[in-house]
Amino acid sequence: MIAMPLHKSVAIAAIAFALAAAGTLTLNDYFVYVVTIGAIFATLAVAFDVLLGFTGYLSLAHGALYGLGAYACALLTSRYGLSFWVALPLCGALTGAAGALIALLAFRTRGLYFAVLTLGIGLIGHQLFLVLPNLTGGVGGFVGIPGPEQPGWLAVHATTYYALLALTLLLVTFVCALLFVRSRLGAECLAVREDLTLAQALGIRVASARLAAFTFSAVFAGLAGALFASISSFIAPESFTVLGTGFQLVALVVVGGMGTLWGPILGAALLTALPEGLRVAATLSLLAYGVLLLIFIIFAPQGIASLISRAARRIGGGGREP
């Protein structure tokens, strides 16, 4: 796994962003909506990959963190009248802090226990959204969340604007994740993933590395949640369940390719587009996720990314490193 130079990766990401952004200008509202949701889930997936793919910890609490970002944004913009652009970084900071607290608790355990503990936190989070109606609107949901303010010079339809925002957040998240995994902390996270005991024996600060990875993923999950709330204008607890969003994230990253950052974007694209394309989004998308997860774990455990890398190497003439 020889990584390409940073500037090259960023350049490819920027080109992909430009193409996607240009594409949204030509699509009808329905497709623009699918792109928006896909980009938000891709943002979540990229952030999640830093923890799952690069650090080796499976968290099921991220659906709740995503929800925390969403409700925080809803409250700040509607009840406290803050601008979305002020609320957004506050939501990231809040979920980052919550993520750090969860991490301090959860990293007392390993492997299966870590997953189960974060599952518990995900369940608690979802329940809190239900039982605190004064803050969240309870089971009926939170209504009337203001959309992100649109600058006057950007003369596009609101849905297109939202798609551009979601794509921009995805680009920013991807570049930040890239910088993170290429940094010293990122190298230490890889060491934690590969062999915790050896990492400790080499004097790597295991605790701070994995805390940083968890917090990083929590911050960007919160930002994604905030954007989701603002552009949806209505949110309800069912969007932030463990099985829905929490498990969905795992599926996106595994199907896309863990530890690649760009694979999870493809995973999110596929898993958003497929149920929509089959017109079964509402009823059967979880089923589609489950089936795809099953197929990929059995036949291509390294995900779409590795299938593409392998194909590219074959076309590129064999021995070249991806």
Partner 1 sequence: MSLLQIRDIEARFGGVVALGGVSLDVPEGMIFGLIGPNGAGKTTLINMVSGLIAPTAGHIVFDGARGPWPIAQTVRRGIVRTFQQTRAFLGLSVRENLRIATVHSPDPASIDELIEACNLGDVLDRTARDLPYATLRHLGIALALALKPRLLLLDEPAVGLTVGEVERLGALVRRWNAAGITVLLVEHNVRFLMEVSQRVAVLDRGRLLFEGTPEQCQAEQKVIDVYLGRRAADADD
Instruction: Please state at what angle helix 29-55 crosses helix 206-232, rounded to 10 degrees.
Output: 170
With respect to partner 1, which residue has the nearer C-beta, 134 or 197?
197
Report the residue from 175, 190, 255, 293 that binds partner 1 according to the rule CB under 8 A. 190
Strand partners, 143: 234
Work out how close the CB of 258 gets to partner 1 at its nearest, in angstroms, rounded to a whole number: 11
Report the residue from 1, 155, 282, 315 that binds partner 1 according to the rule CB under 8 A. 1
With respect to partner 1, which residue has the nearer C-beta, 29 or 195?
195
Stretch that binds partner 1, among 65-73, 147-155, 184-192, 305-313 (CB under 8 A): 184-192
* 298 part of the interface to partner 1, by CB under 8 A: no
Work out how close the CB of 195 gets to partner 1 at its nearest, in angstroms, rounded to a whole number: 6
Report the residue from 202, 278, 291, 312 that binds partner 1 according to the rule CB under 8 A. 202
Distance (Å) of CA 111 to CA 115, 124, 153: 7, 20, 50
With respect to partner 1, which residue has the nearer C-beta, 22 or 201?
201
* 204 part of the interface to partner 1, by CB under 8 A: yes
Report the residue from 195, 238, 277, 278 that binds partner 1 according to the rule CB under 8 A. 195
Work out how close the CB of 320 gets to partner 1 at its nearest, in angstroms, rounded to a whole number: 11
Closest listed residue to residue 191, CA positions, set 180, 179, 203:
203
Report the residue from 68, 92, 188, 222 that binds partner 1 according to the rule CB under 8 A. 188
Strand partners, 234: 143
What does the alpha-carbon distance between residue 84 and residue 81 come to, in Å, rounded to a whole number? Answer: 9
* 321 part of the interface to partner 1, by CB under 8 A: yes
Work out how close the CB of 58 gets to partner 1 at its nearest, in angstroms, rounded to a whole number: 16
Stretch that binds partner 1, among 7-15, 135-143, 196-204, 265-273 (CB under 8 A): 196-204
Report the residue from 85, 194, 280, 290 that binds partner 1 according to the rule CB under 8 A. 194
Report the residue from 203, 279, 317, 318 that binds partner 1 according to the rule CB under 8 A. 203
With respect to partner 1, which residue has the nearer C-beta, 229 or 261?
261
* 297 part of the interface to partner 1, by CB under 8 A: no
What does the alpha-carbon distance between residue 146 and residue 84 come to, in Å, rounded to a whole number? Answer: 8
* 198 part of the interface to partner 1, by CB under 8 A: yes
* 187 part of the interface to partner 1, by CB under 8 A: yes
Closest listed residue to residue 251, CA positions, set 48, 96, 26:
48
User: Residues in the site for partner 1, rule: CB under 8 A?
Assistant: 1-2, 184, 187-188, 190-191, 193-195, 197-198, 200-205, 321
